[in-house]
């Protein structure tokens, strides 16, 4: 109830559409304007798997801020916190959209061209025709390619440009009126080096194991769901600021498969060594060798849902597995929930539903 009251206080025009709290529709208000929005949550109410639908006008305004909103979906603890973040981002986006229509004085263009020439055109990946958006490219010490998008307002260089980066942590620019694009670029390079160990750890996982999710991870993604065996995997959440520390691990699979893995992790946690790689630590704590990309194919682990017969459903993959050792059939959570709701023999306690496996009836 407290969460519902808080949502009503911050977004009085956004109302629940069902009793499960999985669908909300209405309007979000910013700068005195109302924008239509619809938010669909999975049955487990996890924000990171939410789907947001909105009007074409709002989508166009927020186009350059999509990766920021995705980060907020992953980091916000509840819907109220996300809506507060969404309103803040929308306020910034509206302000920057208005700035694009303010006529630039001649000094703006001469200053920008001078700054680009000092920076070097070889570092420029894109400039729009209005000279209001600039994308700069950089390579970190490990050869990874990165982009930073700069949105310049009419008061540049008195005011700093807005910066968009594919980072797992916020990127704040230190700016003085006498600064230039070179100062931002140097801060960008320093930030890249501060995230080197984090990207090294995830790159090793991506190269040496079978990652089931995300399918095409961005540089801001902090999670990896790693295949361990048939219908058994571990979801690893890595702290970008402390990538060598023990990450949060969540096992997915049948109880008889994952319980021994949980026990090994708890019993061996004292063996964690921050001097060796994250992947090597996981191997030693779990006492396993992760399936190799050289020997096996992803299809050996990517089993289709036993209800809809598809692997991906609205971006999610099967993560519920029958506990019976002779079955072990995986299902999408949404498919299984809908199936069990339709069975007269199923029962529900709070947000957990119990019923028979569609495959083996256990």
In tens, the pLDDT along 15-27 reads 888 877 888 888 8
Partners of 249 in the beta sheet?
236
Q: Which CATH class is domain 106-194?
A: alpha beta
**Model confidence over 65-96: pLDDT tens digits?**
888 888 888 888 888 888 888 988 998 888 77
CATH 3.10.110.10 placement within the chain: 106-194
CATH topology for 303-361? Herpes Virus-1 (3.30.40)
C-alpha to C-alpha distance for 15 and 317, rounded to whole angstroms: 29
Q: Is the pLDDT of residue 101 over 80?
A: no
User: At 142, is the secondary structure helix, strand, or coil?
Assistant: coil
CA distances from 155 to 108, 131, 160, 179, 197 (A): 8, 13, 8, 13, 37
Q: Is the pLDDT of residue 298 over 70?
A: no
**Model confidence over 139-172: pLDDT tens digits?**
999 999 999 999 998 889 898 999 999 999 999 8
Mean pLDDT (the chain) is 86
CATH 3.30.40.10 placement within the chain: 303-361
Please tell me which of 251-265, 313-327, 347-361 the model is most confident about, judged by mean pLDDT: 251-265
CATH 3.10.110.20 placement within the chain: 209-301
Partners of 73 in the beta sheet?
none
C-alpha to C-alpha distance for 3 and 322, rounded to whole angstroms: 33
Residue 150 has a pLDDT of 94
Residue 300 has a pLDDT of 63
CATH superfamily of 209-301: RWD domain-like (3.10.110.20)
CATH number for the domain whose boundaries are 1-100: 3.10.110
């Amino acid at each position: 109830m407290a969460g519902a009251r808080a949502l009503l206080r911050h977004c009085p025009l956004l109302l629940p559409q069902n009793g499960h709290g999985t669908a909300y529709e209405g309007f979000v208000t910013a700068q005195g304007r109302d924008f239509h929005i619809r938010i669909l949550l999975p049955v487990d109410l996890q924000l990171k798997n939410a789907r947001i639908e909105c009007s074409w006008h709002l989508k166009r305004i927020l186009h350059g801020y999509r990766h920021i909103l995705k980060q907020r979906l992953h980091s916000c603890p509840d819907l109220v916190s996300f809506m507060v973040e969404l309103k803040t981002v929308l306020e910034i986006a509206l302000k920057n959209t208005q700035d694009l229509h303010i006529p630039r004085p001649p000094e703006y263009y001469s200053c920008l061209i001078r700054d680009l020439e000092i920076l070097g055109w070889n570092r420029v990946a894109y400039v729009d025709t209005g000279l209001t958006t600039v994308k700069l490219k950089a390579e970190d010490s490990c050869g990874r390619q990165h982009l930073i998008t700069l949105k310049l307002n009419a008061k540049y260089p008195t005011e700093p440009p807005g910066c968009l980066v594919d980072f797992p942590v916020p990127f704040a620019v230190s700016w003085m009126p006498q600064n230039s694009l070179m100062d931002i670029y140097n801060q960008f390079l320093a930030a890249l080096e501060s995230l080197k160990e984090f990207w090294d750890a995830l790159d090793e996982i991506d190269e040496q194991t079978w990652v089931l999710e995300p399918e095409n991870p961005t540089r801001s993604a902090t999670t990896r769901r790693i295949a361990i065996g048939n219908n058994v995997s571990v979801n690893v959440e890595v702290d970008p600021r402390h990538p060598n520390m023990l990450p949060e691990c969540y096992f997915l699979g049948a109880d008889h498969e994952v319980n021994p893995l949980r026990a090994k992790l708890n019993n061996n946690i004292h063996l964690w060594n921050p001097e060796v790689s994250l992947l090597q630590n996981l191997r030693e704590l779990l006492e396993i060798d992760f399936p190799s990309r050289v020997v096996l194919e992803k299809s050996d682990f990517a089993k289709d849902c036993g209800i809809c017969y598809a692997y991906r459903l609205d971006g999610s993959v099967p993560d519920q597995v029958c506990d019976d050792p002779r079955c072990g059939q995986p299902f999408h959570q949404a498919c299984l929930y809908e199936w069990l709701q339709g069975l007269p023999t199923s029962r529900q306690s709070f947000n957990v539903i119990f019923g028979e496996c569609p495959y083996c009836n256990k």
